[in-house]
Amino acid sequence: MDASTMFCKHCGQVIDAECIICPRCGKQVAEIKREAAIPQIVINNSNSNVNTNVNKNTNAMVGGRPKNKWVALTLCFFLGILGAHKFYEGKTGMGILYICTAGLCLVGVIIDFIALLGKPNPYYV
């Protein structure tokens, strides 16, 4: 037995002197060194990946996929009666309905165009 080992004060097992928790009985055999613990906390706080993940989660909670307002407006203006802006938003069922009804007799297209004008850019669907 060399200087890097010690006896567990709970079960008597020979364990590494660096051990804080005895690997045999699982009890705490040493105080957690403050000098070692503080740098670990600093590393966690400076981890920028955490902030990135939070932002992604926030966007998902707002309502999903970001859409460019001006792309949707252009599609609505030129191809609105074919439901192009509905397909762009991922609303395939509404897009097919617009094709069959010529954009709800153009009324739906006009309403969508005005609604799109009032939306922020990008907007979320």
- Residues that bind Zn ion in the complex, under the rule CB under 5 A: 8, 10-11, 13, 22, 24-25
* Amino acid letter, residue 5: T
DSSP tally for the chain: helices H, then strands E = 6, 4
For the CB of residue 57, give the shortest distance to Zn ion in the complex, in Å: 42
* Closer Cβ to Zn ion, 11 or 117, answer by number: 11
* Closer Cβ to Zn ion, 8 or 30, answer by number: 8
* Closer Cβ to Zn ion, 6 or 79, answer by number: 6
Do the strands 123-124 and 5-7 form a parallel or antiparallel pair, or are they unpaired? unpaired
For the CB of residue 1, give the shortest distance to Zn ion in the complex, in Å: 16
C-alpha to C-alpha distance for 99 and 91, rounded to whole angstroms: 13
For the CB of residue 22, give the shortest distance to Zn ion in the complex, in Å: 3
The residues near 19 (Cβ < 8 Å, ≥ 6 apart) are 6, 8, 29, 30
